[in-house]
Amino acid sequence: MIWFLRIAFSIVVISMLTVTTWASLQIPLWQTPRAVVAHPWFIATLFDTYFAFLTFYAWLAYKETSTVARIFWLIAILLLGNIAMAGYMLILLFRLPANASMEQILLRKK
């Protein structure tokens, strides 16, 4: 299971970096057309995305015991989204042995 998750989150990081780089080379984020930014589905998707980020962060804040780490990861997730989330998971997964249980992934160290 650990190897599958390592591969899955590596694909997320690579995919997100690739598509973000491609999009940035097409047009800078701050030049997104007003018609797009003001579109109701864009706004709804943005709310959905950031609530998902905060949901993931709630688990991360439980898992991490350091206030500094919690603040760092909150800022990283809010600025980088899935790139930061997948990065966090890869760091976590590569710190665990290949035969680690789901409890070791999901629960805080005792």
Specify the number of domains making up the chain: 1
pLDDT of residue 1: 86
Is the distance from CB of 1 to CB of 102 less than 8 angstroms? yes
* Separation CA 61–CA 74 (nearest Å): 9
All residues at 6 or more sequence positions from 20 whose CB lies less than 8 Å from its CB, including other chains: 83
Residue 39 maps to a domain = no
What would the mean pLDDT of 41-52 be, rounded to a whole number? 96
Residue 22 maps to a domain = yes
Q: What is the pTM (predicted TM-score) of this model?
A: 0.89
pLDDT of residue 17: 97
Q: For residue 20, what are the domain limits?
A: 2-26+45-106
Residue 100 maps to a domain = yes
pLDDT of residue 110: 72
**Rg of the chain (C-alpha set):** 16
Residue 70 maps to a domain = yes
Residue 32 maps to a domain = no
Average pLDDT, the chain: 95
The answer, yes or no, to whether residue 9 has pLDDT greater than 90, is yes
What would the mean pLDDT of 44-69 be, rounded to a whole number? 96
Residue 31 maps to a domain = no
